[in-house]
């Protein structure tokens, strides 16, 4: 069983009268029907039947299993009327009170947070509120027709923290008007706000969106793959260094391929996270190899074939090798004097690498 299982309940476009240029919520969630609280109950039951047949915790509250979370995604949950929010939340809370799930999670907009809403979420034992912030650059928010400013985010976070909810922040890369600098600024502001989790989404041009129209009118140019990976990498490092859990990097194919497909240019890649982590691995391993050459008095191109081992944690092993072994190929080409092999060292933290000689 997975250590952290999320039961996703998508509520497409419900509760959202906004029109962000990049959003076609019905496509993103690959659904067109409205989800009802009864549907939510069915979804939870179906997932629980595959996740675990017995309650999560014993009477003393000890867990003998993994964390299971019900998450209301899509749309803007707290934009629903309080009555509608309560009808969904009461279902999730019922499972939480029976100890069949551990946590309740929802995503919403920064300007749909106020004290009344938070009181209600508290009443239904919601744990985590994830804010779709997208950018801290007001011009980017304006050009993306988000309908809120960075100040709205600061105020929402202040309230969320006052009520003691766990905070998540979603950021997008490559929105109209955004740049490497504004992406880095957004990542730094995120760190200042201290969320426990974050998601990074490169902008995808979806059918039937204003962004698609802008793309057709040559008013918006999607980021190249290279630029999207570069910006995301810089943000990832800032968030990761601050100890923020990066739950997702890039959309899943099932998020965007609904009826009729949805990609028109843009920056979708099924292994986007690996592209980003692979670049980070390359960037961190290269100075170690240079130091190795220096300390062994071997030049980069000398025909010496000195044996070198490069180590990573288990989780980062495939990132170290790179997508389709691109890092392996890169290092082999750039360092012909080295005979490089890659290994796992379980003692290494994720994203940390070690290089040593295999001759000794």
Shortest approach of ligand SF4 to residue 289 CB, angstroms? 43
Q: Where are the extended beta strands (E) located within the chain?
A: 4-10, 67-73, 103-108, 128-134, 166-173, 197-202, 245-249, 306-312, 338-344, 354-357
- CA 79 to chain centroid, in Å, comes to 22
Q: Please name which of 343, 333, 225, 336 lies closest in space to residue 279, comparing C-alpha atoms.
A: 225
**Segment near ligand SF4 (CB under 6 A); pick from 17-25, 161-169, 195-203, 322-330:** 17-25
20/156 with CB nearer ligand SF4: 20
**Segment near ligand SF4 (CB under 6 A); pick from 18-26, 167-175, 205-213, 294-302:** 18-26
18 makes contact with ligand SF4 (CB under 6 A): yes
Burial tier of 338 (Cβ tally within 10 Å: 0-12, 13-18, 19+): buried
Shortest approach of ligand SF4 to residue 253 CB, angstroms? 19
29 makes contact with ligand SF4 (CB under 6 A): no
Alpha carbons 16 and 35: distance in angstroms, whole number: 14
Alpha carbons 69 and 46: distance in angstroms, whole number: 14
* Residue selected from 4, 19, 221, 325 as contacting ligand SF4 according to rule CB under 6 A: 19
20 makes contact with ligand SF4 (CB under 6 A): yes
190 makes contact with ligand SF4 (CB under 6 A): no
Q: 234 near 282, Cβ under 8 Å?
A: no
* Residue selected from 75, 195, 266, 278 as contacting ligand SF4 according to rule CB under 6 A: 75
16 makes contact with ligand SF4 (CB under 6 A): yes
Binding letters toward ligand SF4, positions 107-146, x by CB under 6 A: --x----------------------x--------------
75/222 with CB nearer ligand SF4: 75
Alpha carbons 212 and 269: distance in angstroms, whole number: 18
205 makes contact with ligand SF4 (CB under 6 A): no
Residue 52 phi/psi, 5-degree rounding, is -160, 135
13/189 with CB nearer ligand SF4: 13
Burial tier of 163 (Cβ tally within 10 Å: 0-12, 13-18, 19+): middle
Residues 6+ apart with CB under 8 A from 242: 191
Which spans of this chain sit near ligand SF4 (rule: CB under 6 A)? 13, 16, 18-20, 23, 25, 75-76, 109, 132
């Amino acid at each position: 069983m997975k250590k952290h299982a999320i039961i996703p309940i998508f509520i497409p476009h419900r509760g959202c009268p906004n029109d962000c240029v990049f959003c076609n919520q019905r496509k993103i969630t690959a659904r067109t029907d409205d989800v009802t609280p009864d549907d939510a109950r069915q979804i939870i039951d179906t997932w629980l039947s595959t996740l675990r047949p017995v309650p999560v915790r014993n009477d003393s509250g000890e867990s003998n299993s993994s964390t299971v979370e019900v998450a209301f995604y899509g749309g803007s949950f707290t934009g629903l009327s309080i009555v509608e929010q309560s009808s969904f939340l009461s279902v999730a809370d019922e499972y939480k009170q029976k100890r069949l799930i551990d946590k309740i999670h929802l995503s919403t907009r920064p300007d749909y947070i106020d004290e009344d809403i938070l009181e209600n979420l508290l009443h239904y034992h919601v744990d985590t509120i994830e804010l779709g912030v997208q950018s801290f650059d007001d011009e980017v928010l304006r050009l993306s027709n988000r309908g809120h400013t960075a100040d709205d985010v600061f105020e929402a976070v202040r309230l969320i923290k006052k009520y003691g909810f766990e905070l998540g922040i979603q950021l997008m890369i490559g929105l109209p008007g955004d740049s490497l600098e504004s992406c880095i600024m957004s990542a730094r502001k995120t760190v200042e706000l201290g969320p426990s989790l974050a998601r990074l989404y490169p902008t995808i041009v979806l059918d039937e969106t204003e962004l698609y129209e802008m793309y057709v009118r040559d008013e918006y140019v999607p980021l190249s793959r290279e630029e999207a990976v570069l910006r995301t990498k810089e943000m990832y490092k800032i968030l990761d260094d601050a100890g923020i859990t990066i739950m997702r990097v890039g959309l899943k194919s099932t998020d965007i391929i609904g009826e009729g497909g949805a990609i028109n240019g843009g920056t979708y890649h099924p292994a986007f996270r690996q592209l980003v982590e692979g670049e980070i691995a390359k960037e961190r391993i290269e100075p170690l190899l240079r130091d190795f050459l220096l300390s062994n008095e071997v030049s980069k191109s000398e025909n010496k074939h000195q044996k070198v081992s490069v180590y990573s944690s288990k989780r980062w092993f495939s990132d170290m090798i790179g997508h389709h072994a691109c890092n392996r190929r890169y290092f082999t080409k750039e360092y012909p004097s080295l005979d490089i092999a890659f290994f796992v060292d379980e003692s290494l933290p994720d994203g940390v690498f070690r290089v040593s000689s295999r001759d000794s």
